[in-house]
Amino acid sequence: MMPADAGLGLGDGNVQFDRLDRRFGLRARGAKRTWEGVRRLLAVALCFLLLGSTTLGCGTPPPAPPPPAPSVEGYIVGAPDILLIHVLPEPEIEREVRVRPDGMISVDLVGDVQAAGHTPYQIAQSIQADIGRFKRDAAVNVTVVESPSQFVTVYGEVFRPGTFPLDTETRVSEAIGLVGGARPFASLNNVRVIRTAGKQTQVIEVSLGDIGKGDLSTNIVIEEGDLIVVPPTALARVGYAVQMLLFPFQPLLSAAGAVANVDQARQVGQ
């Protein structure tokens, strides 16, 4: 006799349920693994988006740009120079000020500051020391925008000797170029810069010949009141000496030459 459930095909029901459970269980677990993989990919992508974004506050913000480099220390400020005062960080202060006839400038949060007779770097340090009472992390930079107070004199073997203003940082070679350059009989290796500071006078030797060859060690920055002397060569000095000796007799020589020309013209006419 067959079992009661044989006709219904349920005799191996437990085995069939086990197979179904394993089949659908594997599919379920596979779907679960697939979903977990998708979640991981989404998490990684979201992390990259957050790291690459600066508006979401993720990651390290870019560093603030450094303040401009100080101006050349050799430049001495004077009235009526115009200076650009730049104070960082926030709240940022940037304004142009003119050096008054008394040598002072007015700066926000500080008041009057002595500017004339100091370099831009020294002025910046003085302002930074005073403004540090209000802003401990202040960084101050001072730049010369206009400098009508600076003058230099160039004379000797140059084409246009004289005195001219220094509007920007100027070196010896540039100053000589501004007066038309050196004449053919200039002693290029014996140029002198005479600099006076108070009661002291300093003579600085400059070699334009070496500068022309690429050695810029003597191509110094010109300061207020410098005197640049471009001497003649030894041969040119001899020529000038002879010219000076003959100068008293030059009218006589000119008259003699004129008489000779007249006589020659008469002979030709005859």
Element (H, E) at 43: helix 13-52
Q: What pLDDT is stored for residue 211 in this prediction?
A: 93
Q: Does 157 have pLDDT greater than 80?
A: yes
Q: How far apart are CA 80 and CA 263, in angstroms?
A: 65
Q: What is the mean pLDDT of residues 227-247?
A: 83
Query: Reduced to 3 states, what is the DSSP secondary structure of residue 203?
Result: strand
pTM of the model: 0.43
State in words which class domain 151-234 has. alpha beta
Helix (H) and strand (E) counts in the chain: 6, 10
Q: How far apart are CA 99 and CA 113, in angstroms?
A: 10
Query: Reduced to 3 states, what is the DSSP secondary structure of residue 169?
Result: coil
Q: What is the mean pLDDT of residues 33-46?
A: 58
Higher pLDDT, 123 or 198: 123
Q: Where are the domains of the chain?
A: 13-54, 82-146, 151-234
Average pLDDT, the chain: 74
- From 1-10, 46-55, 245-254, the region with the lowest mean pLDDT: 1-10
Q: Does 121 have pLDDT greater than 60?
A: yes
Higher pLDDT, 12 or 203: 203
Q: What pLDDT is stored for residue 64 in this prediction?
A: 43
Q: How far apart are CA 261 and CA 269, in angstroms?
A: 12
Residue 205: pLDDT band (50, 70, 90) is very high
Domain 82-146 has CATH 1.20.1050.10: no
Residue with tokens 């108070």: 198
Q: What pLDDT is stored for residue 132 in this prediction?
A: 82
Other Cβ atoms less than 10 A from the Cβ of 96: the count is 11
Residue with tokens 């269980």: 25
